[in-house]
Structure 1
Amino acid sequence: MAVALLVLTPTSFNTAATSVGSTPTFDSEQPFPGGGAYWEPTIAADPSSSYVYQAVTYINASKTCSGCPGTAIFLRSSKDGGATWGEARPVSLARGRGWQFDPQIKVATDGTVYVVFLQTFNPGSVLFKSTDHGATWSGPFTMNGPISYNDKPILVISPSGQDVYVALNVKLASYVAVSHDAGQSFAQVQTSNESLWWYSYGGTYAPDGSVYFAQAGEAGAKTNGKRTNQGHTDGIQKIFVLKMNHEGTAWENVYVDTSAVATSCAISACYADYFAAQASIAADAAGNLLLAYTRNDVNGTAHKMYLRTSSDGASWSSPVVFNDQGDNNFPAVVAGPSAGDFRLAWQDNRNAGCWDCGGLGSWNTWYSQTTDGGGTWTASVRLSNLGGGAPYKTPHGYAFPDGDYFGLAVDSVGTNHVIWGEADGSSLYCCGGTWYTRGA
């Protein structure tokens, strides 16, 4: 089933959300150890214990890891809620088999760790599982079926881990790989009915068993004529929420908004859509949804951050401007343990001398929280608080966001764990590192 719904296209916007309540406090940011070129990190917390997991994409891993592909996914664990960490190790020794990118981590209530990442474009996204906190892994479990190309996996699991959903870009189509045997086998479900270059940026499993993904469908020069060997298009982006039933047999694309052409990225090898509109979604303990997304009105101008809420994923509230300082990018939202509790993190360059300097200069990672379903929010907290410690850091921020997504998780006692990338902007995959913090 495919139904496209038009809901509440905005013509005017509310003012920014009110800041109330005590300001959250966080540890000072820390660098991911090892000194490697780490890219697009992610994080997950065990819902039933104090274990926390971090994963990074290690660029040029084969230079220090003899069994690794050129770029590899490394994971490490903490058994004490992020106070101390074990050694980072490769999930899969796959030397000679291309590269690995785009890690995702989820943890089931029994402690099983699920990791999905891209193992080249074919087979594409693969799943690994661990029942001993990442010491050993089973897998890879492939999910491509007849699909010869897939990219940008976003992982969602049910609390038990029995049900696994992975949203995939398949060039000018969106798919979800669905498993009901804990990832042993997958069915492939096409969930798009419009020829856009589809990327999912966040997903969530609701208490009633519904599954949601926040998506952006990109138009532009590289989709005209269906030049499907490319991507990273340079046109507008349409923002959708994909709603799917538990079985994965029925779905609908709910249209939310449209963003103009992205702000430019001037660094070497950067993509036309690096700063394109993105969206993230979470369901709280009562099943209410919060959608955070970025968009702009005029081609090439700064993005604002918008919020919408829903009780069913089909009808959404009018948009509220959450943040209009700088160019807002890469939202990440998760739900806390109580109904109405949502945590939001993002990156913006409000401290830069100019927001349209090709993406370079004075970026920071920020955090805020609501406990009333998005009605009011705490003051924003600057997580990237150090003015030094790396050549790309100044008191105003870091030079460039290293990767176009990062990780946010909430552990079993409500503590936030955040991990992100910082770089000098000399080129897309060099040179920078991963930083992290925790707090509540």
Structure 2
Amino acid sequence: MSEFQELSHHIQTIARADEEQQNSILNDYIEEGLEPGSVALILEAFPIDERVRLWRGLPLELHIEVLTEARADVRNSIIAALSETELKITLAKLDNMSLIEWADSLPDEIINEALSLIEKDELELYDQANEYDDDELGRWAERKVVTLPFNISVERAKVLMERYSYDAPHHIYLINKRKQFRGVVSYIDLLRAEPTERLKNLSSENVVTLNAKLTLAESIEALEHSSTSSMPVVDDGQTLVGEVDWHFALSTQREIYETRLMAGTGMDEGDDLFAPVVKSSQKRGVWLGINLMTAILASVTIGLFEDVIAQVVALAVLMPIVASMGGIAGSQTLTLMIRAMALNQITVGNRWALLKNEIGIGSINGLLWAVIIGGLAALWFQSGILGATIALAIVVNIIAAALFGVLIPIVLDKLKLDPALAGSVILTTVTDVVGFFAFLGTASLVML
């Protein structure tokens, strides 16, 4: 059974159980190794009242971790249902990483209360993280790492490890007195080394560090090409900030993917499956309104040729083909562009070459499908003129789709707008308008 099938099975089993048994079943799954992220997904699959009850029944040590793994709206729905005492107890257990994750989605009064309740050490780490922007690696780096002076002996290092009760780490970061990064030592190598050996002599050579100012996308790419499971993060002065690992890369990449997927319909990655009806209706209604405006623009274009459509009914039959071919061609180019931009592959130096390449592809596909569709239309309606008209419209629309599929995301990016959010709507409008105008405009000239 795959992970997703297993999760679906868990949800179904809990949903079918009596209310008194549901928490017991969920806790049994946790004892069997169910991860907090999977627990959060299970809670999301239940209406808010049931979700809150299931969360309250979790082991106390999992409360914060499950809420942090949950989507923003899901987390907020649980927090909103807590009593004042429950909320204070929950906020007091926050660590710096959880508070950073929560800060963007909770009201300021709750965040301020959390800041007054969390431990002093966690507050200091939270303040350090806030020195960086949301899209900078330094904000999300794990700051709780094991560090030791780089020039001490192995014997001294072991004494310090015992004194500070460090759990056995995978590796240890070496720093100088100014907390600047000087290397990394495997914990296994430390245990095997001679007592008199210096830590700096055990350090791995050519350790690659990540600058805390890197964007999340750049950091993920670096981790993807790294031979290690984690990488140290340093600031411009080489001071050790913390580390990031493959788990960070996977979760961040998933969030980026879900954000872009949801953005295409005007929704947010943190949206709740069981969000309140009125709130969801308002949020989705805005997007429907935007779509209505673009649809009206396409309809106005059709309305300009009302007389010719009335006289040649075949035009109304064939119009969806013109729009559909342009739409899919444009979507292919737009998807390619959004992926390339997410990977920082689009630069001033290659935009023109990419544009020419896409127009070339559009020209070939346009001519090929124009011949096929034009021939079919001519045979269907016994009209060579009609076949030639739709063939011309197909060529024009597919080339236009390629052109605007490249230009629209570039322009939106320049305007600091997410191409994944607005790109598809704008492109669909452009291909509809261009396709209808080319098809109906040509028909009005040659068929009347």
- Say yes or no: TM over 0.5: no
Higher-RCO chain (CA-CA 8 Å, sequence separation at least 6)? 1
Higher strand fraction: Structure 1 or Structure 2? 1
Higher helix fraction: Structure 1 or Structure 2? 2
TM-score (norm 1): 0.20
Higher-Rg member (1/2) = 2
